[in-house]
Each structure stands twice: as structure tokens, then as C-alpha cells.
A and B are shown apart, each in its own frame.
Chain A
Amino acid sequence: MTLDLEAERALVERLRRRDEAAFNLFVRAYQVKVFSLVQRMLGNRAEAEDLAQEVFITVFRSIDSFRGDARLGTWLYRVAINHCKNRIKYLDRRVTRGHDALDEEGGRALTEGGPVMSRPDRPDEAMQGAELNKVIERALGLLEEEHRALVVLRDLEGLSYEEIMTITGLPEGTVKSRLHRARAALREAIERGLGYKLPEQ
């Protein structure tokens, strides 16, 4: 659901008055986007459920700091990405070892070039839908948080460079060069996970 500019302004005014009905509407309008972004950034559903709620609570509390020079949805992405970065750092500090045996095993397999799943006889068989998605998801989880954010925003959420600049606060040249490095790192991680080079066709 995308609100037009007028509807968005009216909604923001009501949010500033802490209108509960307007906030209900706001959450329902943006919950898919927020949850999808957070889930992709964290790669863990339980954490994503918790963090998505915190994102909306932050909006409820700090809507007064929304100046209106970007769209509400873009600002919301910024809040969500900042929450994700903080949560990833927190989890990295807390977890480091043995938090999720399965995930860690998968991650190690990817970083060490070991098998993530039974290796297919023909590489193109592994390129089919669900299997490839699993490898991509694991590979995404191995990217540095800055790189992961750029790939998620650009290639999964489909945002423009301009929107990404607003969300991350990075200049255009930095967004482009980091995105390039992020995609290259992702490709390497995927190929390590698959155990072979991505096929051309």
C-alpha cells in the first residue's frame, strides 16, 4: 500500500498527535515492507519479528523528528536500517559462537568452501529456485552489514540510488562503489556456497 503525498501528510499530522487509529493504519500500511527488510537484514525470523515491532515503536515515539524532506516510507526505511545495524552489532557481540548451531554450520561451510547441501551432479540443477535462494540467503548473511544493507535495499527492495542515499546518508559515488563491492562479495560467497562458479546461462 502506497499513500499519495496528501494522504501521507495528513497521516503524519495525525501521527504527531499520537492518534492511535492513525498509527494502526500506518502499521498496517507499512508492515510488509518493514518486516521484509528486517527479515532480510537479520536472516532470522524471531529476531525480525521483535525488531519490526521496535521499528514501529520508534516511529510512534520520534515522529516529531520527521521533517518531511523525504517520503515517510524512505524515512521509515532509515529507522529500520539503523535498528538492523544496531541489532546485528548486538547479536555479533552476544552470539559470536554457538548461538545458532545450524546457522553457524552453514556459515562455516560457506566461508570455508565446504558443502552447504548435497552437491548436485550438474551445476544448473542447483540453480533452481528454492535451493539457490537458500544459498543466496546464507551468502547475504555473510556480508558485512553495510554491504548487506546496500544489496537488500537495491536488489531486494528495489529502491533507487537516490532513496538509498537518503536512507544511508552516503553520497552517490560511495553508494555506487560500495554496492559494486557488495555485489562482488555476494557473488563470491554464493560461489563458495555452491562450490563452483555461477553458470553463465
Chain B
Amino acid sequence: MLTDDEVRDLFSAYHDRELSPERSEAVRAALDASPSLKGEYSAFCRMLDSLSAMAAAAESPLAGVSAPSGVEAPKETVPPDLLSGVQRRLQKRSGGRFYGDMWSRLAGILPLELIATLVLIALVLAYAAMTMVSARPAPAPVGAPPAVTAPR
């Protein structure tokens, strides 16, 4: 039979199912035999549940969205400039060897889809501009005499 202190020392392992079947059974029996010990174990589990709830809230898809009153917004929302900050430091500390050009930094910050769309729009605009230029009538050569209508 385990003493109360021995059972308390096994709360963590029992909660995490890390005990052998025999040891686990001994803890269960001790908890069943002592309501106060069982109460302590419930409080212990409640604390761990609260930790899990905190972790789950931080990983929620709503993380970062303003929370309704009474509900704490998770603090672990990643700062939007984390990547750009890393790039700046690397550029500075490498003397410009890494992330020395704007494109390499921009490529990490903007989503690839957005970059692809911007490039596509730029190509379409360039094509349209070229088409308009080629469709315009050619200007008269410089220095050519003006057309004269013969008198009748």
C-alpha cells in the first residue's frame, strides 16, 4: 500500500500514463480509498487542463483576431515582421552577402501567389502597351516634302 506522499509523487506519471500497470493500479486504489487525495489529484489534473486550454487557445485559428470581452486574446501571435527582421539582421551581420537585394527579401515576405499575380499583371500591361504602339500609324518621315495637290 502506497503512502499519501508516495501517491502525490506519482501524480505526474499517473496522469501521463507513464506507470507500469501494477503501479498504476496501486495509485488508483489509493485514490479510491482516500477522498482527500482524490480531490488533490483532481485539482492537479485541473491545473494541467488549464495549461492545455491555454496552449489550444494560442494555436486556435482565431489567434490574433480580436477576442470578445472576457476572453483573453492569445499573446503568442507571431509578429508580422519577424521574417523581415531576421533578414535585416542577416543582411547587416553578413555585410550584405545574404539578403543583399530587395527581391530576396520581398520573396520571403509576400506570398508567392501575390508575386505571381503581380508579375502576370505587369506582363499583360507590357503586352498591351506594345500592341498599342505597333497599331499606331507610322509618323511621316522627317524632311519629306508635304503632299501637294496638283491644280486642275
**Contact partners of B102 in chain A: CB under 8 A:** none
Shortest C-beta distance, B89 to chain A (Å), equals 6
Asked if A15 CB lies within 8 Å of chain B CBs, one says no
Contact in complex: A39, B104 (CB < 8 Å): no
Asked, given contacts A35-B82, A130-B71, A151-B51, whether A180 binds B18 with beta carbons under 8 Å apart, the answer is no
Q: List the one stretch of B40-48, B120-128, B135-143 in contact with chain A.
A: B40-48
Picked from A25, A35, A49, A176, the residue with its CB within 8 Å of the CB of B13 is A176
Closest to B44 in A: A187
Question: Could you tell me the dominant secondary structure of chain A's interface residues?
Answer: helix
B48's contact among A53, A132, A155, by CB below 8 Å, is which? A155
| A-B pairs with beta carbons under 8 A, tally | 120
- A18–B108 CB distance below 8 A: no
User: Residue B96 at the A interface, CB < 8 A?
Assistant: no
- In the complex, the answer to whether B98 meets A183 with C-beta atoms within 8 Å is no
Within 8 A of A (CB), among B1-21: 8-9, 11-13, 16, 18
Which of B43, B47, B70, B89 meets A186, CB within 8 Å? B47
Q: Does chain A have a CB within 8 A of B118?
A: no
Complex: how many Å from CA A199 to CA B43? 6
Main SS class of interface, B: helix
How far is A45 from B47 in the complex, measured between Cα atoms in Å? 24
Q: Which residues on the B side are within 8 Å of A151 (C-beta)? A: 51
Chain B: interface size category: 35 or more
Partner of B93, one of A24, A57, A197, A200: A57
Q: Once the chains bind, are A179 and B82 in contact (CB under 8 Å)? A: no
Contact of B72 with A24 in the complex, beta carbons under 8 Å: no
Interface string of B89-112 (1 = CB under 8 A from A): 110010000110000100111000
Q: A136 and B50: CB pair below 8 A? A: yes
Question: How many residues from A make CB contacts under 8 Å with B?
Answer: 47
Q: Do the beta carbons of A180 and B47 come within 8 Å of each other?
A: no
Interface stretch, picked from A26-34, A76-84, A95-103, A109-117, is A26-34
Specify the chain A residue showing the minimal Cβ separation from B18.
A176
B76 at the interface (CB under 8 A from A): yes
Query: Would you give the 0/1 interface string for A142-183, flagging 1 where the beta carbon is closer than 8 Å to chain B?
Result: 000000000100011110010000000000000010011001
Out of A57, A155, A179, which one reaches B86, CB within 8 Å? A57
Are A155 and B52 interface neighbours, CB within 8 A? yes
Any A CB within 8 A of the CB of B79? yes
In the bound assembly, the distance between CA atoms of A161 and B19 in angstroms comes to 13
Least distance between A134 CB and chain B CB atoms (Å)? 8
A35-B79, A57-B90, A176-B13 as given contacts; A28 in contact with B55, CB under 8 Å: no
**Set of chain B residues within 8 Å of A155, measured between Cβ atoms:** 48, 51-52, 55
Please tell me if the beta carbons of B83 and A31 are within 8 angstroms of each other in the complex: yes
Binding site for A on B (CB under 8 A): 8-9, 11-13, 16, 18, 39-40, 42-44, 46-48, 50-55, 57-59, 70-72, 75-76, 78-79, 82-83, 85-87, 89-90, 93, 98-99, 104, 107-109
